[in-house]
């Protein structure tokens, strides 16, 4: 570990080596044990520790007891490299276990929802890291972070789809018979135009086009220059390429919404196009998984996650996306999660472990 001095509120040091002495002694002293849920993104990684829960699709938990919560940096291996990603995951799990008073050997299952997990090779890489950390009895599950976001809205039930629209965007779905599908999520270069980055980048392009005569005038020019402290659209070039952070550009979305609400047609079209893109992703996933049933009218949840989908005064992007989806799938219904994705991942760990146990009992 590069940074093993992780202190929590009472000053106790949480080292990743803490509790590892019990590895060879089976399941540790806790009779029921705990599970860990992780949500790993390009900005931060959150880990929660909860008791092992038992529930069914018809008896979902109303509340989730959180024993401990820890936060670390980026764990996307595509962004920080494999070594730093592995260190971050181990660090945040160690801190959560330490805060909860649990040991590595008291863990029954771990579920990671990590951005950048887009292929079985990505899953196997992280699973190999985890196998070096945990005793052999611990069940390990690794998925894309969209699955954790879905579970945060359905409280661990795997059915329906999640639409994430923040800096980036992705739609991920899961059918009742276990099939999975995704749409978008390939990054701004490959066309995530419904994302915060996509919306803001189109707004910046509109300002430049208006300035050089290739496009109509727009109030986006005054609004964006004012918020950035610039005096001329010419300065946008230097500002944009000085730091090409996706999040930095996506932060301009509120300016686009404000201009659209004030009646600017260019800003309005950018948002309408974003709504169409986001709705198209959900429709694609729903069709591939037949979430609407054979008659096209069956109900299924759409978990809505991300700042772009939050209510924005009168121009509510999330509401418009649902309205667009309802034109084809009237049974779709939105869910705003009441717990964070890391808790969703922990509930998935409980769900997966319980289904495995049921399978063994029935075999």
Top pLDDT among 39 and 56 is at 39
- pLDDT score for 58: 64
- Claim to verify: residue 176 and residue 316 sit in the same structural domain: yes
Task: Say if 362 falls within a structural domain.
Answer: no
> Which of these, 310, 361, 354, 349, lies nearest to 141 by C-alpha position?
349
Tell me the average pLDDT of the chain.
Answer: 87
| Contact yes or no for 7/96 (Cβ under 8 A) | no
Label residue 97 by pLDDT band (50, 70, 90): very high
Reported in sequence order, the residue ranges of 225-267 that DSSP labels E, i.e. its strands, are none
Task: Say if 363 falls within a structural domain.
Answer: no
- Claim to verify: residue 325 and residue 203 sit in the same structural domain: yes
Tokens of 154: 């359905």
The pLDDT of residue 28 is above 50:
no
Top pLDDT among 32 and 166 is at 166
The pLDDT of residue 3 is above 50:
no
- Claim to verify: residue 9 and residue 45 sit in the same structural domain: yes
Label residue 357 by pLDDT band (50, 70, 90): confident
Task: Quick: pLDDT tens for 311-347.
Answer: 667 899 999 999 999 999 999 999 999 999 999 999 9
The pLDDT of residue 204 is above 70:
yes
Q: What is the pLDDT averaged over residues 261-268?
A: 97
User: Which CATH number belongs to the domain containing residue 352 in this structure?
Assistant: 3.30.420.40
- pLDDT score for 158: 87
Task: Say if 216 falls within a structural domain.
Answer: yes
The pLDDT of residue 259 is above 50:
yes
- Claim to verify: residue 121 and residue 174 sit in the same structural domain: no
- Claim to verify: residue 230 and residue 166 sit in the same structural domain: yes
CA–CA dist 21, 19 (Å, integer) = 5
Top pLDDT among 15 and 227 is at 227
Name which of 16-20, 300-304, 359-363 the model is least confident about.
16-20
Domain span at residue 144? Answer: 4-155+339-357
- Claim to verify: residue 127 and residue 61 sit in the same structural domain: yes
Name which of 20-24, 198-202, 267-271 the model is least confident about.
20-24
Q: Which residues contact 221 (CB under 8 A, 6 or more apart)?
A: 207, 210, 211, 233
- Claim to verify: residue 16 and residue 110 sit in the same structural domain: yes
Pairing of strands 332-335, 169-174: unpaired
- Claim to verify: residue 22 and residue 126 sit in the same structural domain: yes
To the question of pTM greater than 0.85 for the whole model, the response is no
Chain-centroid distance of CA 53 in Å reads: 23
Task: Quick: pLDDT tens for 115-142.
Answer: 878 788 889 999 999 999 999 999 999 9
The pLDDT of residue 21 is above 60:
no
- pLDDT score for 336: 94
- Claim to verify: residue 221 and residue 241 sit in the same structural domain: yes
| Contact yes or no for 164/170 (Cβ under 8 A) | yes
Tokens of 257: 């919404």
- Claim to verify: residue 197 and residue 332 sit in the same structural domain: yes
| Contact yes or no for 163/305 (Cβ under 8 A) | yes
Tally of domains within the chain = 2
């Amino acid at each position: 570990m590069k940074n093993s001095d992780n202190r929590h509120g009472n000053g106790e040091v949480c080292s990743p080596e803490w509790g590892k002495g019990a590895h060879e002694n089976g399941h540790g002293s806790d009779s029921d044990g705990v599970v860990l849920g992780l949500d790993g993104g390009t900005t931060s990684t959150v880990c929660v520790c909860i008791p092992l829960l038992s529930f069914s699709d018809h008896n979902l938990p109303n509340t989730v007891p959180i024993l401990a919560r820890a936060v670390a940096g980026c764990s996307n291996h595509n962004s920080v490299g494999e070594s730093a990603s592995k260190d971050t995951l181990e660090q945040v799990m160690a801190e959560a276990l330490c805060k909860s008073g649990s040991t590595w050997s008291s863990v029954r299952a771990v579920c990671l929802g990590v951005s950048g997990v887009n292929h079985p090779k990505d899953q196997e890489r992280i699973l190999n890291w985890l196998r070096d950390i945990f005793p052999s009895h611990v069940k390990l599950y690794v998925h894309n972070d969209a699955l954790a976001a879905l579970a945060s809205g359905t409280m661990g039930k795997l059915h329906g789809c999640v639409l994430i629209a923040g800096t980036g965007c992705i739609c991920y779905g899961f059918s009742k018979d276990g099939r999975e599908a995704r749409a978008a999520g390939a990054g701004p270069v490959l066309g995530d135009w419904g994302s915060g980055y996509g919306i803001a980048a189109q707004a910046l392009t509109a300002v430049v086009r208006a300035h050089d005569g290739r496009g109509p005038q727009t109030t986006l020019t005054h609004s964006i220059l004012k918020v950035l402290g610039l005096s001329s659209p010419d300065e946008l070039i230097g500002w944009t390429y000085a730091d090409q952070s996706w999040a930095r550009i996506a932060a301009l979305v509120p300016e686009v919404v404000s201009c659209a609400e004030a009646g600017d047609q260019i800003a309005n079209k950018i948002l309408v196009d974003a709504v169409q893109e986001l709705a198209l992703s959900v429709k694609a996933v729903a069709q591939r998984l037949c979430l609407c049933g054979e008659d096209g009218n069956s109900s299924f949840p759409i978990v809505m996650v991300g700042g772009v989908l939050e209510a924005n005064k009168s121009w509510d992007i999330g509401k418009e996306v649902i309205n667009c989806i309802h034109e084809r799938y009237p049974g779709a219904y939105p869910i705003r999660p009441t717990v964070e994705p890391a808790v969703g991942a922990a509930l998935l760990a409980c769900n997966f472990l319980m289904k495995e146990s049921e399978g063994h009992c029935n075999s």
